[in-house]
Structure 1
Amino acid sequence: MAFTKITEQPSLYNDLEKKSIREILEDINTEDQKVALATRKAIPQIEKLVSEIVPRMKQGGRIFYMGAGTSGRLGVLDASEIPPTFGMPKTLVIGLIAGGDIALRNPVENAEDDMERGWQELQEHNVNEKDVVIGIAASGTTPYVIGAMREARKHGILTGSITSNPDSPMAAEADIPIEMIVGPEYVTGSSRMKSGTGQKMILNMITTSVMIQLGRVKGNKMVNMQLSNQKLVDRGTRMIIEELGLDYEHAKTLLLMHGSVKKAVDAYKNASSI
């Protein structure tokens, strides 16, 4: 099948500058509603990837997200949210972006065109067969990502990809390609919109389901979250109250003593059973 860049096809809307603010917002919302449906169609592939990630992480493996521009930023964003949300070390989910951290705020010229740099960065992190490398690119053509995935695969490392074009060069380098086809963007070629939204949804699905499988959630609660502000201390305290029936101050003291809801509850239950 010939490779077609749906992400670059003309918008379904025209004369955007002549539209009212309300019309623009309603049109964007109409397009955004297509994203969840496109993501739903990709669930079988997402499930397959998560099923491969979990046993690797149980053996000490890591997830590496790789992307450029918006895709790279979204990978870094998802990775950065794992420690505070699930209390995991920041070394377990790693986001790499073409051009390095400076590219999070500023475009770095030609960084995404370097076919070798991505693999070099993975080697700097001592990537190995327990790890999983997931390339993210709306177009599915980013050389920085493709080169890294190709080398990773040669070294026996599982590769996945998230793209918005079917049968892309990047998907060809993935053991488990996820294709989320959202159609042309509202502003032609602006893949920070629907493609970016869909990427964020899929990244949420991957890491949240992995962390639940790894036991980092109890019931429906973030029992391992970092207590990095008063809002989270209060949330954790109320979780302990609900679980153990203690008064607020006792629950808060336990939480601050042990550092997480899970540790506090376990310690209290162990002490009570003695």
Structure 2
Amino acid sequence: MAISVRGVRAGSTLQICASTGKTQKRERVRPPIFISTNPSHINLVHLRELFSSCNISCHRFPNLNPDGRVEVVDISKLRIALSHSSVVVSVFCKPEFSYGDPPTDGSTIRRLGFVFGQLFERATPVTESNGRLVGFGRAVSDNGLTASIYDVMVVPSLRGLGIGQMIVKKIIRLLTSRGIYDIAALCTEKQRLFFKACGFGDDILGSTTMMYTRTASNYNSKGEQTIKSAGRMLLLVPPSIEPPFSS
């Protein structure tokens, strides 16, 4: 299933007027996009590039480069993850709108060299074939009772235009159409406001997420730490052995 969404006004940014020096609001226009729920529309190489451009990793403990960028996603594991995802939503946009703000006036259009032939090309509907992958999200479910949402992302240049919320709402719509209403989203503290805007909140039952750490306790009876992190792995470190006799 796929739908096309025409460009609409979706927000505003602040800019300084050169003549008056005053701050003015400039309308941001969301470019035409194409939303698909067909996994076959996703090119794994392009999806891996989207992960990189958003600096998002599939791992909870990703390895970081010296500049703070996460490691490149393993494309073979990405393929497996997609094949076992119950819902996959991808968003496509014309390549000329993928980076930076879209044109907002005629002078900008002329400066960018948009001639009539190019304008006609841009007027054609966006598809997975002529568009660039700019947004993504997926859900894992037992297809009967519960589901969890993961990897919601939008290319940085198009954030703040409501595309991320469209992805989440599309996922929820598909899940609830199957009778699944117990839907969770594992998110960081920075992502809480985003998911709250999408209708998520604290669990009314007061439950909290607990993660398996491979051991009952991270410390021994002497207060010594027995678990150390090594990249994405948690290693069990034996406690130091003291000599039985002291001189």
TM-score of the aligned structures, taking structure 1 as reference length: 0.28
Q: Pick 1 or 2: higher relative contact order, CA cutoff 8 A, min separation 6.
A: 1
Select the structure that is richer in helix: 1
Which structure features the higher share of strand residues?
Answer: 2
